[in-house]
Structure 1
Amino acid sequence: MSQTWSIFSAVTLLLVQLCIGEKSCAIWSSAGRLVQRGTSFKMYCTFHCRCRGSMYSDHPPTLQSHKELNSTTIYFNVVNITKNRTYSCQCNCHPALDPCGLDISTGYLPDPPKNLSCIYKVLNNNSGDVLCTWNRGRDTFLQNSTVLWVRTVSGNHTSEPAQHTVSRDLLSMSFPVLRSVPLIHVWVQARNQLGSAVSSTINYTLSDIATPPTPALGQPKCSSRQCLIQVEQCVRTQHLEIQHKADAEQTWTSYSVQRVQMRTVQDWSISSLEPYTLYHFRARSKFGTGLWSQWSTNLSSWTQEEAPAKELDVWYAEDASDLQFLRVYWKEANISIARGKIIEYTVRVFSPDSGLDNVTNVGSDARNCSVRIRANCEVTVWARNSKGLSPPARIPARHTTAKSSQDVRVTAGDRNVTISWRTPGTAPPPASYVVEWYPEGQKMEELGWVRLGRRDDHAVITGMKPFECYEGAVYVFYEESSVSRTVFSGVSTLESAPKVGPSVQESVEGRTVTLTWTELTRSKRGGCITNYTIYLENSSGHQRRYSAAPSDTVYIIPDLSPGVFSLWMTASTAEGEGPAGLKLKFLIQQESPQSTFIACGVVFLVMSLLVCLFQNSAVKQKFKVFFHCLMFDVVPDPANSKWAKECTQEKVLM
């Protein structure tokens, strides 16, 4: 009975211990629960039962090498702790008890706040807000609190320090100050669980850090060269700066007014602007001392238009199919020359000899116009905007052709082409140059040009499409209205072998085959075609090659032997030969003697039939009627004439 009672008591005690969560040990730190990072200290564990205890750290628990202080207590030396850690101890007690543990928090003392700086934002004539900012320093890894302290000085009176609690994690604080206060003292105090730190005290004369409210701008009112801007301020200032810049520019141009008592609302004129340009404006102000205000919001406005400033850059191309037509080209003027939105272009053809005076107006999107010309006529082009016409750009439709004496060289790169020339010393001095270029065969559709001065000796052409073949010319204009022209061709920035071969067709006549093909499309050429290669292969596999010029579209191969032939073509550029086109087959037939004999027999039979028919008098008579012109005239025979016979008879009678 006593034994049963002992077991019951032990079980009851164990259950009670489990219910109340009794610990097997007690754990503590020699430095407490909160320590500064980099600190060294000891962790202790005292066990409540006789057992072999152990100490662990972190999660999952890592066994630590502890030391024994006495029979119930162990300890562990923590050296230079750098982060938060959890330590625990446990042992095998009977009955089993919970292990014990302790969380160690780490951090730093707050640094003294640095770089304390304040500005005084004036709101009106009576008051304003002082805004102070500072740097906190290094992270403490703890929860910090910050307080901004302020003393105000008015005359001989200095106020008690006023405390302004800063919201968590903020590094700035503002507080109101009357404009009658001339001086303030400010400092910042930072605190956490390890201690506190205080910044240096900064003394401010408010007039030195005062900044006025941002000016408000009214919508600018602009003419072609000037804009009038209304500036509104809620306090009077002594300095005003207005800046402007064109939309395409990066830098601002300043217009400043200083040492003037500004009114709260005032108009200012900004001049020396360009016509038909979008300008952006902003402003800021300042008291006699202190800081500039923030820039105002940008406002934008267009200046008004003026008539275009310069003549258009024009050029022309003659229509090869009809020399009475001329296509005139012009470049779109930039905004500084156009000085407005171009409404239309006017093209006039005038000939004093014939009295021709034809005017054509085309839309603002047009860049060329075809006109009919006469001898000794002049073509003039104008651009028009809402304010008027540009100066005239003239093209004499016919020039006196001068002998070409230019040594033109072409240097092609991956991104541009340089056209250079050299004028012999014996040539007359040039007045100007024009270099034109266009894809092969596309002069009327894709003409480009650049106009150069008399001292220029080269032109760098950009924007040429890669894998495209270009040609063009250099024109030299002389003072006496004569012009010389030197052409160039086969120009490409990037090239590749052609992508396809020509599609060829054949026509066989006897032993001769005539080949025809069309040019490859521009997208398939890969650049400038240097030659075509024709491959001819007979039934025995023997192959012959023929080369054709890049301008050819017809090739004749004579004197072929009878048989079956295969034929195909390729095209080549400077980068290599392209793939073969479609292969075709044709037959050269053998000329047999039997066919010649049959033809001769047929001819003989036809001639015999005609001879037989001619013996018939009716047929003969009809033949004389229808083919009288083919018969020989009858020659008279005097000896057998009627007159001769009658004369002979009379002589006999006598």
Structure 2
Amino acid sequence: MATPAARWLPSVLLVALSGCCAAGPPAPPSHLQCYRQCHETHCLGGIQCIWDPEPDPKIPTNYSLHWEPASSEDGHATSGTSQSGFIGRKDFSHGELRVWVQARNQYGSAKSEEIVFNTEDIIKPLPPKFSSSYQEPLEIHWNTTCAQLAIGTCEVRHRTEEDRDWPGHESGLHGVYTFLDPQPGTVYEFQVRCACMTGLTSDWSTILRIKSAESAPVGEVDVWRDCGMSTTSQDCFLTWKNLSNSQARGLILGYEVRIVYNNGTSSLMNMSTAEPSSHLVYDDMKWCLDSPLKDLLSASVSAYNALGATVPSYLAMPRRAGKEPNDQPMYLQMNQDNLTVSWDGPAQLSDKLKEYVVQYKEAGCPPGQGFDWIKVNKSQTTAFFKGQFKKSTQYQVSLLAVSSSHQVHQLASVAGYSSQTTPSAVPLFEVSSIGATDVTLSWEPVPISKQNGLILYYQIGLNTQEVYNVSASPQQKKMSFNVEHLRPGQSYVVWIKAVTAAGPGENVTTDFKTNSSQDADLLSIVLKVVLPVIFLIFFLLAVVLWFCRRGNKVCPLMSRCLYEKVPDPGNSHIFRQLKHQINEPLDWICIPHEPQPKISVLEVVEKKSQASDSDGLTKPVVGDGCSQMNCQNDQKEDAVTDECDRTDRRYGREEYSKMVDSDEEKDGCWSSLEEENISSGYEKHFMPTAQEIL
């Protein structure tokens, strides 16, 4: 036994399905045509009718063909397919007929418009057949039949292989057509239809393709450079487009590429299109060299066929790389099918400006791929690209100006997306420095290939309390942000995520703990007190050293640390005599450097022989036979010896032996100066020995 719910459920489903299918009578058929088909020897007696049914009917629909003599209402009907019907010869009489089509479904019927015609006026011949064609001049021939009827005129239409429409039409022809002034080396498509003297025009014939005669190419090759995502990069690759058929005027056999280097040398490369070399990459009607243009001054490209070559197309290379100004406003309208770029033109056009170049580069694509450009007149401010732009993929769109001297300057460069989604997470997020009340966070930006849209800013959150929006521009290799007003010795959890127009991406989280207040105070003391004191000490030492050296003076105060290897003049006999003449303490005297000081003369001679003393000591003999020990005894009788000893002990210096001044050369021993064996002598300590000289 069925429940109440089971009884009304089918009714609900029926109502739902009826509403879904938009129930109602069918649409009336349209474009009804009727004709009698003629062959080469005879014409068919029956009448063929065709029409256009309702497009994609939701409900099954039946079609029926109706006719009756125009002078009576003795009608006939026959069922047919959804697009055509046939009236047999026995079902009508020659004369005028009225014909219509009726469509019917379960909700009603609809009738097409009626057509009235004479059965003798609807004879339709078969489509013509091409018999021959010629290249020069470009000419086609065809044949057509009308059975026992006379042949009427024909109509020809033509287009290039690249066209979709048929822009050319010629009528009133009879079996032949000559195409005047075709583009050289271009493939043309032709179709013909004819009519008999009475009746309808035939259907169009099959398409005939024929190539016009070749000639030398014209124009210039569209050459440019692919510098990746940055137009100022030095790693640029030479690229150029195929010539159009109207420019190629035949089969392009290859390209000649001439490279001029900065040192004045040049090289010529012949690139065949039939067998491209390993250095040439072809992609989507564009060619590209696989080596970067480094140390290049300029490049030129020309295309050639069997009959000639184009004028070389010149491209100047930038002398230096650098970031150019990017203040020209530029606007993008981009979807998956096309890209429209517009910009604000200058108030007054410059004579030095030749043209604009608008280009785009797909992120992550190798050289020569995902790249296109358009050169526009300097009076234009809009460029249009048609292509298949990928979703969530960055395209770097740039506007450049080319001067009359072929110099290139970037005006603007922006990133565009056909559609955007949420970005990926940042690859690295860390704490770079920690204080008591602040912390510095650093992170690596989301890579271009994973941004999935234009990143507007980065969101940083702290313990779900504070959220900071950090601008994503200018993008750097590593970005940072300083969070202040934190509590000392407190633990925090911090997160970051990138945000595009489609929304925020994934979070990346880390944690940290701020320093205690004692550590912060100690660090503050070190930074505020100790470091300035150390700096002041070094500054004072530098000032003292500068004052002492400014007049080429030697200061005893600094002799220990700065003049350790400079001999102390206080140990000289001359200086000791000078000290007795002036009553000034020696401790803080700075002796000026005299331009021509009186100096002691030291004569060093080679030892001839040695003599032995009675106590067994060996004495070297110098001069006229006076022994070194005797000479020393004579010299030690000088009155200044005691004072010298006191001075040496006073300044902590070693005692040096007396040295003889040039004023004292009255002693017979001065003719040959004694060489002392002890190492404490002033002259021995600072003067070279005879062995070192000889």
Q: What TM-score does the superposition give when structure 1 sets the normalisation length?
A: 0.52
Unpaired segments ≥5 residues, structure 1:
1-114, 136-145, 149-165, 176-183, 189-201, 261-265, 597-628
Deviation, structure 1 residue 558: 9.0
Report the counterpart of residue 567 of structure 1 in structure 2: 494
Report the counterpart of residue 206 of structure 2 in structure 1: 298
Once the two structures are superposed, what CA deviation does each residue of 1:112-136 show, in whole Å capped at 9, x if it has no partner? xxx9998594754xx665445799x
Report the counterpart of residue 454 of structure 1 in structure 2: 378
Give the residue type in structure 1 aligned to 2:130.
Answer: L
Report the counterpart of residue 646 of structure 1 in structure 2: 633
Please give the alpha-carbon distance, in whole angstroms, between the structure 2 residues aligned to 1:337 and 1:509: 68
**Counterpart of 2:634 in 1: which secondary structure?**
helix
Higher strand share: 1
* Pair 1:555-2:480 in alignment: yes
Please give the alpha-carbon distance, in whole angstroms, between the structure 2 residues aligned to 1:315 and 1:405: 21
Please give the alpha-carbon distance, in whole angstroms, between the structure 1 residues aligned to 2:253 and 2:514: 67
Give the residue type in structure 2 aligned to 1:409.
Answer: P
* Pair 1:525-2:437 in alignment: no
Please give the alpha-carbon distance, in whole angstroms, between the structure 1 residues aligned to 2:303 and 2:634: 105
Report the counterpart of residue 487 of structure 1 in structure 2: 412
* Pair 1:356-2:266 in alignment: yes
Please give the alpha-carbon distance, in whole angstroms, between the structure 1 residues aligned to 2:358 and 2:125: 60
Report the counterpart of residue 419 of structure 1 in structure 2: 342
Matches within 5 A, 1:83-232: 121=38, 123-124=40-41, 130-131=45-46, 172-174=87-89, 215-218=128-131, 220-223=132-135, 226-231=138-143
The question of whether the paired residues in 1 share the 8 Å contact of 2:394 and 2:416 is answered with: yes
* Pair 1:393-2:306 in alignment: no
* Pair 1:433-2:340 in alignment: no
Please give the alpha-carbon distance, in whole angstroms, between the structure 2 residues aligned to 1:231 and 1:354: 65
Matches within 5 A, 1:191-340: 215-218=128-131, 220-223=132-135, 226-231=138-143, 233=145, 237-246=150-159, 248-251=163-166, 253-256=168-171, 269-274=178-183, 279-287=188-196, 289-292=197-200, 294-295=202-203, 297-304=205-212, 306=214, 308-317=217-226, 326-339=236-249
Distance change in 2, residues 1:643/1:414 (3 Å):
farther
Distance change in 2, residues 1:411/1:466 (3 Å):
farther
Report the counterpart of residue 12 of structure 1 in structure 2: none
Please give the alpha-carbon distance, in whole angstroms, between the structure 1 residues aligned to 2:329 and 2:638: 105
Once the two structures are superposed, what CA deviation does each residue of 1:577-608 show, in whole Å capped at 9, x if it has no partner? x1452212345666879x99xxxxxxxxxxxx
Report the counterpart of residue 498 of structure 1 in structure 2: 423
The question of whether the paired residues in 1 share the 8 Å contact of 2:489 and 2:515 is answered with: yes
Please give the alpha-carbon distance, in whole angstroms, between the structure 2 residues aligned to 1:399 and 1:634: 57
Higher helix share: 2
Give the residue type in structure 2 aligned to 1:423.
Answer: P
Unpaired segments ≥5 residues, structure 2:
1-31, 51-66, 70-76, 98-115, 272-279, 524-560, 577-627, 640-666, 668-694
Deviation, structure 1 residue 380: 1.3
Please give the alpha-carbon distance, in whole angstroms, between the structure 2 residues aligned to 1:588 and 1:116: 89
Deviation, structure 1 residue 167: 11
Report the counterpart of residue 509 of structure 2 in structure 1: 583
Give the residue type in structure 1 aligned to 2:354.
Answer: A
Please give the alpha-carbon distance, in whole angstroms, between the structure 1 residues aligned to 2:33 and 2:497: 81
Once the two structures are superposed, what CA deviation does each residue of 1:247-286 show, in whole Å capped at 9, x if it has no partner? 533337444455x7xxxxx765445544565544444445
Give the residue type in structure 2 aligned to 1:452.
Answer: V
Distance change in 2, residues 1:479/1:522 (3 Å):
closer
Report the counterpart of residue 300 of structure 2 in structure 1: 380
Distance change in 2, residues 1:426/1:406 (3 Å):
farther
**Counterpart of 1:583 in 2: which secondary structure?**
strand
Deviation, structure 1 residue 291: 2.6
Please give the alpha-carbon distance, in whole angstroms, between the structure 1 residues aligned to 2:183 and 2:44: 42
Deviation, structure 1 residue 383: 3.9
The question of whether the paired residues in 1 share the 8 Å contact of 2:39 and 2:146 is answered with: no
Please give the alpha-carbon distance, in whole angstroms, between the structure 2 residues aligned to 1:650 and 1:544: 94
Deviation, structure 1 residue 522: 3.9
The question of whether the paired residues in 2 share the 8 Å contact of 1:503 and 1:581 is answered with: no
Distance change in 2, residues 1:481/1:292 (3 Å):
same
Deviation, structure 1 residue 421: 1.6
How much identity, in percent, do the aligned residues show? 17
Report the counterpart of residue 477 of structure 1 in structure 2: 402
Please give the alpha-carbon distance, in whole angstroms, between the structure 2 residues aligned to 1:436 and 1:274: 30
Give the residue type in structure 2 aligned to 1:368.
Answer: C
The question of whether the paired residues in 1 share the 8 Å contact of 2:237 and 2:288 is answered with: yes
Distance change in 2, residues 1:557/1:532 (3 Å):
same
Deviation, structure 1 residue 298: 0.5
Deviation, structure 1 residue 310: 3.3
Give the residue type in structure 1 aligned to 2:495.
Answer: W
Match of 1:410 among 322, 330, 336: 330
Aligned residues: 442
The question of whether the paired residues in 2 share the 8 Å contact of 1:531 and 1:548 is answered with: yes
Please give the alpha-carbon distance, in whole angstroms, between the structure 2 residues aligned to 1:542 and 1:249: 63
The question of whether the paired residues in 2 share the 8 Å contact of 1:225 and 1:274 is answered with: no
Give the residue type in structure 1 aligned to 2:241.
Answer: K
Distance change in 2, residues 1:504/1:384 (3 Å):
farther
Deviation, structure 1 residue 294: 3.0
Deviation, structure 1 residue 500: 3.7
Distance change in 2, residues 1:498/1:227 (3 Å):
same
Deviation, structure 1 residue 436: 3.1
The question of whether the paired residues in 2 share the 8 Å contact of 1:408 and 1:420 is answered with: yes
Deviation, structure 1 residue 367: 3.3
Distance change in 2, residues 1:508/1:242 (3 Å):
same
Distance change in 2, residues 1:134/1:472 (3 Å):
closer
Please give the alpha-carbon distance, in whole angstroms, between the structure 2 residues aligned to 1:569 and 1:168: 72
Deviation, structure 1 residue 423: 1.3
